[in-house]
Amino acid sequence: MATDKHGGEPHSPLTQFEIKELVPFEVGGNSLAFTNSALMMVIAVTLILMLMLLGTRKRAMVPGRWQSAAELCYEFVANLIRDTVGNEGRKYFPFIFALFMFILFGNMLGMAPYSFTFTSHIAVTFAMAMVVFIGVTILGFAKHGIKFFSFFVPPGVPLWMWPLMIPIEVISYLSRPVSLAMRLFANMLAGHTLLKVFAGFVPALGAAGVLPLAFVGALTGLEFLIAFLQAYVFAILTCLYINDALHLH
């Protein structure tokens, strides 16, 4: 169970990110408990499945509400892939679609009061970023074999610049999963903390509390935008990385 070893008071703006073990489960000293984070992931996946199953049940020529919503998501990701990768990108649609929907639903579920945002944990975002990174690297090797290393030598760079350019390119390649994970994690963490901090001002200021209250209202709208935008950015960067791996440069 959650202990108070950090001495945090119950209304700290950071308590919302606390991982709570719902069903404790241990294997060899490692906790594999079913946590609130895992619960939210299960809810997200269930909701996505529901949307897709309900949306594809009727297959009407004139779509109803559910079908429209499902088609909207499908078209959005399909257009994203077509615009960034082109036709060869179609193979990777299921992966990118799953990634996008999972992050989107995770972010959006986090906007519900009293819920938990699993994308605000770097363990989650970094795991997803590493899947993308390793997958793209394997894809690059599978497509180009040893020629993949030419990726690290920008075209048109004179030979004497290579010792300088190659470390820079390698670092810039390795920084991809870090930036991918950090962007999502930091945005969600900062946004939700900010919301809680401003909400904390409301009772503290008494009558003047309407000011921060209005601000919280505006921030909530912004957070919804960011929740969508971060899922979009994650998906589009995955597309760009796949595009890079397919075409090198």
Partner 1 sequence: MMERKPPKPRDDLDDRLSQFRNERDAANGRTRNTDSTNNGLGFAMRIGVEVVAALVIGVAFGLFLDDWLGTKPWFLLVFFVFGAAAGMFNVYRVVQRQGGAVGYRQPDTPAPEVSKTDRDGE
Residues 181-210 contacting partner 1, CB under 8 A: 182-183, 186-187
- Measured from the CB atom, the residue of 41 and 231 that comes closer to partner 1 is 231
- Measured from the CB atom, the residue of 171 and 207 that comes closer to partner 1 is 171
* Cα→Cα distances 158→70, 83, 92, Å: 51, 33, 36
Q: Which of 112, 175, 210, 218 binds partner 1 (CB under 8 A)?
A: 175
- Measured between alpha carbons, how far is 54 from 36 in angstroms, rounded to an integer? 26
Q: Which of 60, 61, 204, 207 binds partner 1 (CB under 8 A)?
A: 61
- Measured from the CB atom, the residue of 28 and 155 that comes closer to partner 1 is 155
Rounded to the nearest 5°, which phi and psi values hold at 28? 55, 40
- Measured from the CB atom, the residue of 66 and 232 that comes closer to partner 1 is 232
Residues ≥6 apart with Cβ < 8 Å to 75: none
Q: Name the β-bridge partners of 185.
A: none
Closest distance between partner 1 and the C-beta of residue 152, in Å?
A: 8
- Binding marks (x or -) toward partner 1, 1..40, rule CB under 8 A? ----------------------------------------
Interacting span for partner 1 (CB under 8 A) from 91-99, 116-124, 172-180, 199-207: 172-180
- Measured between alpha carbons, how far is 84 from 234 in angstroms, rounded to an integer? 13
Q: Mark 102-138 as b/e (b = at least 16 C-beta within 10 Å).
A: bbbbbbbbbbeeeebbbbbbbebbbebbeebbebbbe
Region of 34 on the Ramachandran plot (φ > 0 left; ψ -120 to 50 alpha; else beta): beta
Q: Which of 45, 71, 169, 197 binds partner 1 (CB under 8 A)?
A: 169
Q: Which of 72, 174, 190, 211 binds partner 1 (CB under 8 A)?
A: 174
Site for partner 1 (CB under 8 A): how many residues?
Answer: 45
Q: Radius of gyration (Cα) for the chain, nearest Å?
A: 22
- Binding marks (x or -) toward partner 1, 113..152, rule CB under 8 A? --------------------------------------xx
Q: Mark 51-83 as b/e (b = at least 16 C-beta within 10 Å).
A: bbeebeeeeeeeeeebbeebeebbeebbebbee
Interacting span for partner 1 (CB under 8 A) from 13-21, 39-47, 91-99, 180-188: 180-188
- Measured from the CB atom, the residue of 97 and 241 that comes closer to partner 1 is 241
Residue 183 identity = R
- Chain residues binding partner 1 by CB under 8 A are 61, 75, 79-80, 82-87, 151-152, 154-156, 167-169, 171-176, 178-179, 182-183, 186-187, 225, 228-230, 232-233, 236-237, 240-241, 243-244, 247-249
